[in-house]
Amino acid sequence: RLRRLLTISHQPRSELLNFRAASGGIPGRSATEPVLERSKVIREGWCYKESDHLKVWRRRFLVLTRQKLCTFKTDTSGYAQPTSTIDMSNAICSATSSTTIVVRELRDKGSAQENPHKVYSIRFQDGIECRAWLAVLHEVIMAQDAPRANVVSRAW
């Protein structure tokens, strides 16, 4: 394993950066190819998202469709290169304070157990914005198939 790490680290940094810039870091996807269609966007706006590893709050542009919840570094990205994505068909959400929402993507569809695959902690400027986002997220989750909606209702 160490040999593999050393081999990777010996590749010129410029080659790694060129691959990431050209592909958006995702094989088979162009860096400028949008991951969302503007016509399918339900709600978008600025928030603060807690980073996964460092637990630092970063300003992100949040975009919601019926299928995905994505964050972007800018609102001018054209919906290309999201910093993170959650599949809404497998999501639950709850408010943890008057300005913070936690969205979890479950590993097993239809499971009421808290076994999250991904967790977003999202903070908004004020309680009004937070409640508006929570209501829209709840609508999107409830609009999924009926058996799944029953699980989410119990979680609320």
The DSSP-derived string for 16-66 is: HHHHHHHHTTSTT--TT--SS-GGG--EEEEEEEE-TTT--EEEEEEEE-S
Question: Does the predicted TM-score (pTM) go above 0.85?
Answer: no
144 band by pLDDT with thresholds 50, 70 and 90: confident
Residues 25-61 have pLDDT tens digits of: 445 555 677 888 889 999 999 999 999 889 999 999 9
What are the beta bridge partners of residue 106?
116
Structure tokens that stand for 15 in this block: 């080659």
Q: What pLDDT is attached to residue 22?
A: 40
Q: What's the confidence (pLDDT) of residue 109?
A: 61
Is the pLDDT score of 1 beyond 70? no
- Residues 90-135: pLDDT tens digits? 899 999 999 999 999 987 666 555 567 889 999 999 999 999 999 9
pLDDT at residue 23 tops 90: no
Nearest to 134 by CA among 55, 45, 40, 51: 45
